[in-house]
Amino acid sequence: MRAEHLETPAILINRPVFDSNMEKMARLLAPLKVALRPHYKSHKSIDIAHLQVRAGAKGITCAKVAEAEDLALAGIEDILIANQITEKSRIARVAYLAKGCRITVCVDQSQNIRDLEQAAAVEGSTIHCLVEYEVGMGRCGVTTHEAFRDLAMEVMACPHLVFDGVQAYAGQLSHEMDGTRRAEEAQRIETELQSLLADLKKWQIPVKEVSGASTGTVELRKEDTVYTEVQAGSYLFMDATYRQMGLRFENSLTVLATVVSTRPDLVVTDAGVKALGVDQGNPVCPALPGASVNMSEEHSAFTFPGHPFHVGDKIRLIPGHCCTTMNLHDFFYFEEEGKVLNRLPVTSRGKSK
């Protein structure tokens, strides 16, 4: 079946572009000896996670316990939950999961370490831990080397926990549009992490992993990067926000919409904010370059005098944010040259717990 026969809104992923993005990431990381641990949050698809592992990813990063459960049940054996798991009921689920596969979580406070140890002891499992170091997101993480050391030593003292290293995700840089500023700030973080690692070495705390980096900053890594693994997600799809940054990856994900109303200067489609994540900006329509867009829940209205569209036409939109767009859909479609190759579920859609 051809893509234009799909009911809309529908997520289409151009398979050759998707494959090419996957290869580009492998070629980018190969000389750096940095492992790829791609972030599940971008696609929430176990099918894509399997493709990534087959293409060389050492494991998968995710954000939530419910996502980790989906990954484990799908046979992914090395899972990083790049987040603090602080509720007792969830910690129990993590400790149970850790019996069946390798689970790593982030920590940034003592009580949480004690709770994780207790739950793992109950299950007789082992939970790996990264101590989170705050590198500018204004979110989780410790802010001093000494605080890092103290938590790392607490983890090391727990018989059912393993201290693996540092979580240092600089999400605030992912969409820094000024390339010079992005490079400078990424270098500042590398220098700061080198200094942290030097102190940890002095304190005889062995660091195996430094995990972080995103699609927006992975290209800035040099051969001497301190990062050992990269958590990029959006590189497979790209989106309107990332597209402005001049990265090497190309846009593979579009949302197919149907034109439901027109005026001479207006094209109204059936894809609104319930089909297109707008948290990082509005969608762009490549067929209507420069058009301004007015979004509502179930419509996007593009102002473009003299447009060529009629009611019933199909139209492609590049969402402002690929990750929150995938999360709005139950399915996505792989396509090649306009032909539908497969319909696959967004396995963990809506799993925010």
Binding site for a second copy (CB under 8 A): 7-10, 41, 63-64, 83-84, 86-87, 89-90, 108-109, 111-112, 137-141, 143, 171, 258-261, 263, 266, 268, 270-275, 277-279, 294-299, 301, 311-312, 323-324, 327-330, 349-350, 352-353
Distance CA 341, CA 350 (A): 25
Q: Is-contact 82 61, C-beta < 8 A? A: yes
Q: Is-contact 296 278, C-beta < 8 A? A: no
Of 274 and 339, which has the nearer Cβ to a second copy? 274
Of 28 and 301, which has the nearer Cβ to a second copy? 301
Q: Is-contact 22 55, C-beta < 8 A? A: yes
How near is the Cβ of 138 to a second copy at its closest, in Å? 6
Q: Give me Rg for the CA atoms of the chain.
A: 22
Q: Residue 252 in 3-state DSSP?
A: coil
How near is the Cβ of 268 to a second copy at its closest, in Å? 6
Of 22 and 328, which has the nearer Cβ to a second copy? 328
Of 77 and 330, which has the nearer Cβ to a second copy? 330
Of 222 and 353, which has the nearer Cβ to a second copy? 353
How near is the Cβ of 115 to a second copy at its closest, in Å? 9
Residue 86 DSSP code: -
Distance CA 336, CA 213 (A): 30
Can you tell me which residue has the tokens 């994540």?
A: 277
How near is the Cβ of 189 to a second copy at its closest, in Å? 17
Can you tell me which residue has the tokens 């995938």?
A: 326
CA distances from 63 to 82, 105, 201 (A): 5, 9, 29
How near is the Cβ of 148 to a second copy at its closest, in Å? 14
How near is the Cβ of 100 to a second copy at its closest, in Å? 21
Of 252 and 282, which has the nearer Cβ to a second copy? 282
Distance CA 49, CA 80 (A): 13
Q: Is-contact 46 25, C-beta < 8 A? A: no
